[in-house]
Structure 1
Amino acid sequence: MVDFQPEKDLVRSYYAALDTATASESSDVMARFCAPDLIWRGMHPFDTLSGPEAVADRFWSPLKSALARMQRRMDVFMAGRNSLREDAAVWVSSMGHLMGLFDDAWLGIPPTRKIAMLRYAAFHRIEHGKIVETAMFFDIPALMMQAGLQPFPVQTGAQLVQPGPLPHDALMFAPQPPEDGAKTLATINAMISDLGQWQSGLPLEEELARTWHDDMIWWGPAGIGATYTIERYAKQHSGPFRAGLTDRSGTGHICRFAEGHYGGFFGWPNFTARPTGGFMGMPATGQPGEFRVVDIYRRKGDKLAENWVFIDLLHFWKTQGLDVLGRTVGI
């Protein structure tokens, strides 16, 4: 077994302290567990922050003030060495929802005084017993929709609060067989090789069937939505996505790893592409835009079965001259 227990224990302790801290205590918790020069990457309008105090003041304290009695509902927890770097730093990743009572406005989003669930995925790089780098993606448009707002035109995928993995086996607090993680990573890499080309010479559904089960589930971000089965995924997301964008750059990730039957990656950005019309119901801009993405995967057998996707769509459309957050909440 490959043992990432010290890193896992650190992040679990960090979560336990942070999740029980008040808004005003967030800075102290961040300072205890994170390096002074922490690099923190968050979705628009947060982008890149430096140092624990800035992250606490800009993100955690306002969020905790807005989502009263917030709790973390985690669906995935895993660790591994970054397969993309020779130093093979250890990263710990988690995914789930931050749930609370939406009692005060956040980012101009009006409170509902009801349960609200902020979907998130986080990657933490650990060195010398501290968190030195974090990428935390959170689906702000999904929260906007829970508040009755409509940030994007209605799309073809389903917009809903998303569940965790079907087998409910992704909270990997204990070590996992390394051969399982190696097989998952190889499957993810094969899928990336196909996806990154967009021109495999095969019809789209045949291309997808090389690395995906026919009953795949693609849990996409709010504004695009979730799809089920290769046939519907091709019609409701992958086909329109490829048709509405051109000049896709190569794929670039900061971190990619797998443990057990699960794996994932993030990039900053993952790739760039130019909208030529139709993507998310929007007109063409002709301007290249950045896609910052997190993907979490579940492997079943020799193929991928589920995929949870976070795309910083607010940032992408901001690069196209459209402030979706600002125009929707009136700030």
Structure 2
Amino acid sequence: MPGFQSEKQLVRDYYAALSAADHDALPIVMAKFCAPDLVWRGYHPVGLLNGAETVATTFWQPLKHALTSLQRRTDLFFAGRHLLADDGAVWVASMGHLMGLFDQPLFGILPTGKVAMLRYGTFHKVENGKIIEEAMYFDLPHLMVQTGQNPFPPQTAQHLVQPGPMTHGGLLFDDAPEAEGRATLAAIEAMISDLGSWNLGIPLEEELRRTWHEDMIWWGPEGIGATYTIPRYAQQHSGPFRAAFTNRSATGHICRTAEGHYGGFFGWPNFTAEHTGGFMGMPATPGRVEFRVIDFYRREGDKLAENWIFIDLLHVWAQQGVDILKRTTEIG
């Protein structure tokens, strides 16, 4: 099958143009690289946006005004076709940090005048030389902790400024062999199949060992944190999460793809569940909760070794009547 060089180059040029653009040029950049009716999905408080100009004025202009001298530090970059669709469209994915000097308020978060790093994960759907859809998931609570404005109680895992893959091989600017991408998708599919609705019927650590390496690393979002090895992942995230949420729906993705040893997916939402137990210091609430998630994976052999995950926890709590961002930024 044809490779992904033209789509990758388009996205790389898009990134370079966004980085170079001043405030007034950002709508021009968006118009050059994106379809006028671009569908853009972002995390709370931005949400779903329609139109390239709207994205420029609602997200990029406020971000670049707040984080001056902004630079993109990319740790993962790959492309592929959505496993569950037959439209032939190519998706380009990347992950890393947007780093700048936090000089002006952003969504109510007070600046520090110091360097700050905003975790991001993104998928771009490319057709006919334009980006027609984009998921831009960013870890705003992680940025808040860097400023001393911690929105959450103590988390079960660890706050870290998170690195890229241990192998330092995540930038697939050249196309990888198709067989490697198929192997990565197979590993991801096996994990999703085991995950199911959390009812495989075997002990959690035994379930995890079927598809994960023993020394797996789970780079989780702020509010949960990062954890290392199967036992600690089970103890510090997966176990508490499954205890807090029940009646999990099936998994649904807008894109699920892989290239080389790397793959990922995102949904809007990925799944829903009922909050029947306490979580992150919050009590249970009635009704179903939706989870908007981006996951990236590194495969080693036939199992998964690393996972970078973005969960819109601000949206999770907003559905339950708690505006975490507003509550935190209005203190004092």
Q: Tell me, in whole angstroms, the C-alpha distance in 2 between the residues paired with 1:24 and 1:219.
A: 35
**How much has 1:330 moved relative to structure 2?**
1.5
CA displacement 1:245-282 (0-9 Å, x = unmatched) = 11111111110000000000000000011111221121
Normalising by structure 1, what TM-score? 0.99
Structure 2 residue aligned with 1:244? 244
Q: Is the 8 A contact 2:124 2:132 kept in 1?
A: yes
CA displacement 1:125-170 (0-9 Å, x = unmatched) = 0000000000000000001111101211111100111000000101
Structure 2 residue aligned with 1:166? 166
**How much has 1:88 moved relative to structure 2?**
3.1
Q: Tell me, in whole angstroms, the C-alpha distance in 2 between the residues paired with 1:207 and 1:2.
A: 37
Instruction: Give the SS at the match of 1:281.
Output: coil
Instruction: Give the SS at the match of 2:167.
Output: coil
User: Is residue 125 from structure 1 mapped to residue 125 from structure 2 by the alignment?
Assistant: yes
Q: Tell me, in whole angstroms, the C-alpha distance in 1 between the residues paired with 2:2 and 2:130.
A: 20
Instruction: Give the SS at the match of 1:16.
Output: helix
Structure 1 residue aligned with 2:211? 211
Which structure 2 residues correspond to residues 226-245 of structure 1 after superposition, within 5 A? Answer: 226-245=226-245
Structure 2 residue aligned with 1:111? 111
Structure 1 residue aligned with 2:98? 98
Q: Tell me, in whole angstroms, the C-alpha distance in 2 between the residues paired with 1:77 and 1:179.
A: 18
Q: Root-mean-square deviation (CA), in Å?
A: 1.0
When the two structures are aligned, how many residues end up with a matched partner? 331
Unpaired stretches in structure 1, ≥5 consecutive residues: none
Q: Tell me, in whole angstroms, the C-alpha distance in 2 between the residues paired with 1:280 and 1:194.
A: 25
**How much has 1:2 moved relative to structure 2?**
4.8
**How much has 1:243 moved relative to structure 2?**
0.4
Which structure 2 residues correspond to residues 45-64 of structure 1 after superposition, within 5 A? Answer: 45-64=45-64
Q: Tell me, in whole angstroms, the C-alpha distance in 1 between the residues paired with 2:266 and 2:23.
A: 28
Q: Tell me, in whole angstroms, the C-alpha distance in 2 between the residues paired with 1:197 and 1:180.
A: 28
CA displacement 1:91-118 (0-9 Å, x = unmatched) = 0000000000000110010001000000
Instruction: Give the SS at the match of 1:125.
Output: strand
Q: Is the 8 A contact 2:197 2:247 kept in 1?
A: no
Which structure 2 residues correspond to residues 14-25 of structure 1 after superposition, within 5 A? Answer: 14-25=14-25
Q: Tell me, in whole angstroms, the C-alpha distance in 2 between the residues paired with 1:61 and 1:250.
A: 37
The answer to which of 92-101 and 189-198 deviates more is 189-198
Structure 2 residue aligned with 1:199? 199
Structure 1 residue aligned with 2:326? 326
Structure 1 residue aligned with 2:259? 259
**How much has 1:287 moved relative to structure 2?**
2.1
Structure 1 segments of 4+ aligned residues over 2 angstroms from their partners: none
Unpaired stretches in structure 2, ≥5 consecutive residues: none
Q: Is the 8 A contact 1:2 1:175 kept in 2?
A: no
Normalising by structure 2, what TM-score? 0.98
